[in-house]
A and B are shown apart, each in its own frame.
Chain A
Amino acid sequence: MLDRIRNSLRKAGMNPAPDSPDALLADYGLDSLMTAMAILELQDEFGVKIPQKAVTPENFESLSSLAALLGSLGAGKPE
């Protein structure tokens, strides 16, 4: 799942995206504009809708926190 998240972030413009799951995404350029693009890519990739109230600095802090968020939205669960 981390690879898919990393890939989505790259498509959103994060070049390079971090290898470490706990690296701070803000250090890799994640600003409000890139967050908007990242949400679109993650929604497309995982087939979930990320509600606005979930768009918090904590949820978008790292690859790990994004994985947790997506998991809570049902991503990665078998059909």
Chain B
Amino acid sequence: MICSPFVGAKDLRARALTLRSERFATELCWQEILDGIATEKQKLGKLPPGIAVLRAECDAVFLSRFLAFLELGKPAAIFAPDCTPQEFQVRRQLLGPAFELDRDGQLTWEDLSQPVRHHPETAVVLFTSGSTGAPKAVQLSRRNIEANTRAVIRSLDFDRATEQTLFLPLSYSYGLLGQVLPAFATGVPSLLLERFIDVRELLDAGEARGMWSGVPSHWEALLRLTRGQDGKCQGITHVVSAGAPMSVDLRKRLRERFPRATLYNNYGLTEASPRVLSFSSRDPAFFVEGVGYPVGDFSVKLTPEGELCVQGSQVMLGYLGDAPGTAEKIRDGWLHSGDGATLAANGLVTIHGRKDELFNIGGERTSPHEIAAALRDVPGVEDVAILIEDDPLYGAKILAFVVCGDSLAASGRAGLQAALASRLSPLKLPREYFRLTRLPRGANGKLLRAELAALKGSATRIT
């Protein structure tokens, strides 16, 4: 048995697997990662002060180095390997003193011109986009990370996973902290794919097995890729979604395609290390509503305005170099999510979209999420986004962008309004409807609002 000092001497199951670097995939053998950590520690020698810049290449070398830094108690900032030079500079400036090593552990550059300003307990720095679009450097401690690992192992039933396939970027908290570390702690063999498109190889070869994790857009694509090939994907036991809201409609379609799998819906924030809420299809409410239940030792509450706040061991140390931003985000020990929510008596949380997206129409306070949810329920509607514009009379004008079938589009605006009338009060009915073949979403599945607004001119208006 192998003991990892990482999750408090938890035993790892040793797997006698050979590390293979396939053309498209890297099979992670945790024994070799442990050996890799020891090698990395030897390479690292005396480190400069400041934060190490680590580029999250999709390979065992990056993971071994990342884990080595974690074990040595030296802080590391994780960068996407395809980060542009400009993106790199903006993020690097947030760190204070920093340095980078090559694959052999030799210093390639260091910048010690600024005084140290990171929190003394910082273990990992991950970047997230703030509400203004400027990136923020989230400082997480080892305690934060270990608490998340334990919470995820439990909520995603990692102990029942025989293996996992990963195509999520390792610079992303979901991939690195939410999937890799729990697998490391439980010894779950993991296959890393550098490109999502390479899932086709696995599907074609009948090698799709175990736990698969993605954002809802990945799952929409996987539903298309496995259409008419049900036999090829029945080895998948855990369908894990996080990073963006997953509609009840998508959950139902996933249940149909993967009848033998357990489905998991999750919600989190990088600032919460990241997993906050989780929910599985074993719960009958999963196919009705809701986002999930608090994981780990999280307590949750709502502000009077309906914003979700959380408190627990996973709450970040703060934003590096941004004390005012930190003070705004964490108040009296509670992390403000920025999302509107409701709490059921049994603890089930339903998220209603960004708090700063709540708007008033004709005096009624509404969220675009409520309108989008009602539209998603209309048969024939595949995807929805709502844009709000100012209106001199009502305060707000609601525009709906839908991805829908031809027959629904043919029923026109009148058909859509009639379908919504039983679900929404008259003030909340969209003023205009536009049809798109697909909504503009970023790599992590999040809706790109600016692009949506720009599409208004070229989208087909439904009349």
Chain A positions near chain B (C-beta within 8 angstroms): 10-13, 15-16, 29, 31-33, 35-37, 39-40, 52, 55
Contacts of B200 in A (CB 8 A): 36, 39, 52
Option from B196, B437, B441 in Cβ contact (under 8 Å) with A36:
B196
The DSSP consensus for interface residues of chain A is helix
Q: In the complex where A15-B455, A15-B458 touch, is A29 in contact with B197 (Cβ < 8 A)?
A: no
29 contacts between A and B (CB under 8 A): A10-B437, A11-B437, A11-B438, A13-B437, A13-B438, A13-B441, A15-B440, A16-B458, A29-B440, A31-B443, A32-B195, A32-B443, A33-B196, A33-B217, A33-B221, A33-B443, A35-B195, A35-B196, A36-B197, A36-B225, A37-B221, A37-B224, A39-B197, A39-B200, A40-B225, A52-B24, A52-B198, A52-B201, A55-B197
Tell whether B436 is near chain A: CB-to-CB under 8 Å.
yes
| Seed contacts A13-B439, A32-B167; 4 additional CB < 8 Å A-B pairs | A13-B437, A32-B197, A35-B196, A39-B200
Tell whether B355 is near chain A: CB-to-CB under 8 Å.
no
Contact with A along B196-214 (1 / 0, CB 8 A): 1111110010000000000
Q: How far is the CB of A60 from chain B (nearest CB, A)?
A: 10
Per the 8 Å Cβ criterion, residues 380-423 of B in contact with A are none
Determine the distance from Cα of A37 to Cα of B200 in the docked complex, in whole angstroms.
11
Q: Which chain A residue lies CB-closest to B440? A: A15
Option from A12, A13, A16, A33 in Cβ contact (under 8 Å) with B218:
A33
Are A15 and B436 in contact, with the CB atoms below 8 A?
A: yes
Determine the distance from Cα of A40 to Cα of B438 in the docked complex, in whole angstroms.
15
Option from A13, A15, A16, A35 in Cβ contact (under 8 Å) with B197:
A35
Contacts of B439 in A (CB 8 A): 13
Per the 8 Å Cβ criterion, residues 404-463 of B in contact with A are 436-441, 443, 455, 458
Option from B167, B196, B437 in Cβ contact (under 8 Å) with A15:
B437
Contacts of A52 in B (CB 8 A): 24, 197-198, 200-201, 204
Q: How far is the CB of B302 from chain A (nearest CB, A)?
A: 34
Q: Which chain B residue lies CB-closest to A7? A: B437
Interface centre among A10, A11, A36, A55 (most CB of B within 10 A): A36
Interface centre among B167, B439, B441 (most CB of A within 10 A): B441
Contacts of B440 in A (CB 8 A): 13, 15, 29
Determine the distance from Cα of A39 to Cα of B221 in the docked complex, in whole angstroms.
11
Per the 8 Å Cβ criterion, residues 156-201 of B in contact with A are 167, 195-201
Q: How far is the CB of A13 from chain B (nearest CB, A)?
A: 4
Contacts of B197 in A (CB 8 A): 32, 35-36, 39, 52, 55
Q: How far is the CB of B56 from chain A (nearest CB, A)?
A: 15
Contact with A along B14-34 (1 / 0, CB 8 A): 000000000010000000000
Determine the distance from Cα of A66 to Cα of B97 in the docked complex, in whole angstroms.
46
Determine the distance from Cα of A40 to Cα of B221 in the docked complex, in whole angstroms.
10
Q: How far is the CB of A33 from chain B (nearest CB, A)?
A: 6
Q: How far is the CB of A3 from chain B (nearest CB, A)?
A: 15
Contacts of A37 in B (CB 8 A): 221, 224, 438
Determine the distance from Cα of A52 to Cα of B24 in the docked complex, in whole angstroms.
10
Sort A-B residue pairs by CB-CB distance and give the 6 closest, nearest first: A13-B438, A32-B196, A32-B195, A36-B197, A36-B221, A35-B197
Option from A31, A40, A55 in Cβ contact (under 8 Å) with B224:
A40
Are A12 and B217 in contact, with the CB atoms below 8 A?
A: no
Determine the distance from Cα of A37 to Cα of B218 in the docked complex, in whole angstroms.
10
Contacts of A29 in B (CB 8 A): 440
Contacts of A39 in B (CB 8 A): 197, 200
Contacts of B199 in A (CB 8 A): 36
Q: How far is the CB of A43 from chain B (nearest CB, A)?
A: 11
Determine the distance from Cα of A35 to Cα of B195 in the docked complex, in whole angstroms.
10
Determine the distance from Cα of A37 to Cα of B438 in the docked complex, in whole angstroms.
11
Determine the distance from Cα of A37 to Cα of B217 in the docked complex, in whole angstroms.
11
